[in-house]
Structure 1
Amino acid sequence: MSTTDRTTGPQAPKARSDRYPPPTEATATTSPARRGPARGAAEAPPVRPPAAVGWAYAMVIVATTAAIASNVFEIRHQIETNAAGAATTGDLALTTAFCALFGFFAEMLRAGRQWGRVLLTIFTSLGLLFTGLGLAQLGGRPLVGPLQASLAVASLIPSVIGLVLLYVPSVNRWMATVRTGSRTISPRMRKAVLTVHVAVSVGWLGLVTGMFAMSVAGATTHDAAQQAAMYRTMSLLDEIFLGMTSMFALISGIVVSAGTKWSLLRRTWVATKFFLTMCVMVLGFSVIHPLILKANTLVDEGAPVRGGELDDVGWMMSGAALVALLSLILMTAVSTYKPWGLTRWGRAAAGTRTRPVRSPVPEGQS
């Protein structure tokens, strides 16, 4: 039997050229991993980002600059009025960190990183929330004076415009095109960010545990000196460490989820941790921090240890700290067991990836 007979018999596999047809001109320049659905030449999206990305980038920079200026004026006011202390140090560190982080996220947006857009969206939304609370004189850091209020409004308006521009159709199409090969961070960066996330989260849990213990001690003691020491220590930890640890736990958690295979909203356990983290942060900002300030004010005024307003404030602070502690323990358990499966967005994405591709019908068969 000739070579031709052996390769064309009924049991012989098809030649490689038959199973893998040669690439066409439209597919030869793109690797399969980066090639999306077949598109015509006229439908190919532009390589350069649309103009809306540039405008969104500019709005983010303007809003961030206004917010930083507001914080700088607040720090200067504290120094001029001799009110500078631990809180001033914490504010300065957070201002520096936010300046660097927002610039980094904005650059990742211009590079087409989906997780950069996600982080910008989340932290811009948090900025809108906290600025709104400050304008309403709610929470631990109300805005004081017309200058700070004007700067807050100056940051709110471009923030809203930037958020809208991040999700206009042209940006969505561009992100869908470029994010396939750049939606995840590198393995080396993932390990570094994961290390930071675990370390900061452990520190956050330890801080909240200690503050819960001190709040219970202050609410149950009959010794005025011990109560004052507990509340002043809580104020010190809150002003210097608590805000920074919670914020960097959120930042690192979002990077290690949105920038990896887990994604941010495609798995129920990741989404649960994300929303619980923001809830604990809002609880600390709008409830625990004002209660700590109120307790220290009452201590300085010589309020009675038991049976008065200080007693009520102490028990409310203990209850809020217990809620925060239980939430952090729940997040730790969720990270360990990873329960509940995919969310609605995760199921939709999985269905898109696993959708069967119809094989072409060989010639001569119906």
Structure 2
Amino acid sequence: MSTTDRTDQRPATGPADGGTPPAAPAAPEARRARTGAAAKAAAAAPVRPPAAVGWAYAMVIVATLAAIASNVFEIAHQVETGVAGAATTGDLALTIAFCALFGFFAEMLRAGRQWGRVLLTIFTALGLVFTGLGLAGLGGRPLVGPLQASLAVASLIPSVVGLVLLFVPSVNAWMAEVRENSRMITQRMRKLVLTCHVAISVGWLGLVTGMFAMSVAGATTGDAEQQAAMYRTMSLLDEIFLGMTSMFALITGIVVGAGTKWGLLRRRWVSVKFWWTMGVMVLGFSVIHQLILKANELVAAGAPTRGGELDSVGWAMAASAFVALASLVAMTTISTYKPWGLTKRGRAAAAHTPRAGAAAGR
């Protein structure tokens, strides 16, 4: 008899003869349950961010603090020169809000939230554009004195460094690994942000509608006092409300897009709305704001209401306000009908997750 035969014929031991009962083979359902639990635990385990994320976070904080300090010096200059008013209060409120928002976005970046990186990227880029315009004397608010200009430059350098670090290969790989589990905001947060977005967007539309009506009234009237009143009111709305509403409409729109199934650049209608909103903001900052300032300067200098430079500025302001109003109405229509289909980026994402892509497409 071979060794194999002897082994096969060895009697099994059990409780009756003092042996240990043989282990029962695990059921397939139990094995699958343990495997699924292990996979879920592995997916839920936090993935340590690369060092570039920490450096980008630090650069964003430094740039934000420098920009806020620059804004504070501007407000202090307004108080010292006696020109502080309601617009100064609006600037202070906006500064505090941006300080809180940038801190929140930076924390979302460190948590691996894709929409946090998107928001930081967009607002860093906007800061670069507006600071560059201010340094060149082309922006809505020129920089006051060498100290404020130095702070603006000090915010530019870490902004560029941080923006580059946000998209180095190690950060891209880390975001790709964690964002599918953490890119979505909760349903309750989505409803809250969407409500804020709709309310702020309606306010923005109302402001632009009112400013268009006032610009037409100022351009057509022959009464110097009425014209001056129209342009002063437009300046007040522009300084206090217009920039704030447009900025927060953009912020909430990005959160709703990047933090939900729609994505920010995955569907053409969302992408078009995003870039169009940016264009309207630039139009308001670099064109309409400048025309309002020029109109009030001409009114203060006693320029004639008709037939002169003030007449040309008034009609240019009315035309710009009409373009902004028509753009906001068009974007509202796009939000209602949600036309077109997926972008190239959206099709690529849907190809990797066909079931999710088909559901989102419906």
Query: By the TM > 0.5 criterion, same fold?
Result: yes
State the match for 1:206 in structure 2: 206
Matched residues, percent identical? 78
Kindly report the root-mean-square deviation, in angstroms, between the aligned alpha carbons of the 2 structures. Answer: 2.0
1:166 correspondence with 2:175: no
Deviations 1:265-305 (A, max 9, x none): 00000011111111010000000001001101111111000
Letter in 1 for 2:327: S
State the match for 1:227 in structure 2: 227
State the match for 2:154 in structure 1: 154
State the match for 1:247 in structure 2: 247
Deviations 1:174-229 (A, max 9, x none): 11111111111011111110010000000000000000000000000111111011
TM-score by length of 1: 0.86
Letter in 1 for 2:298: L
State the match for 2:189 in structure 1: 189
1:30 correspondence with 2:39: yes
1:16-27 equivalences under 5 Å are 22-23=31-32
In 1, the alpha carbon distance for the partners of 2:228 and 2:290 equals 16
Deviations 1:60-119 (A, max 9, x none): 000000000000001001101111122211211110011000000000011111111111
State the match for 2:7 in structure 1: none
In 1, the alpha carbon distance for the partners of 2:173 and 2:35 equals 20
In 2, the alpha carbon distance for the partners of 1:145 and 1:240 equals 23
Letter in 1 for 2:161: I
In 2, the alpha carbon distance for the partners of 1:79 and 1:118 equals 36
Report the CA distance between 1:47 and its aligned residue: 2.0
State the match for 2:258 in structure 1: 258
**Is 1:33–1:181's contact at 8 Å kept on the other side of the alignment?**
no
Unaligned runs of 5+ in 1: 1-16, 36-44, 356-366
1:127-146 equivalences under 5 Å are 127-146=127-146
In 2, the alpha carbon distance for the partners of 1:293 and 1:196 equals 30
State the match for 1:293 in structure 2: 293
- Figure out how many residues of one structure are paired with residues of the other and give that number: 330
State the match for 1:106 in structure 2: 106
**Is 1:86–1:240's contact at 8 Å kept on the other side of the alignment?**
yes
1:27 to 1:51, Cα distance in 2 relative to 1, 3 A:
farther
State the match for 1:216 in structure 2: 216
TM-score by length of 2: 0.87
Runs of 4 or more off by more than 3 Å in structure 1? Answer: 17-28, 32-35
State the match for 2:21 in structure 1: none
1:33 to 1:214, Cα distance in 2 relative to 1, 3 A:
farther
1:118 to 1:20, Cα distance in 2 relative to 1, 3 A:
farther
Letter in 2 for 1:147: L
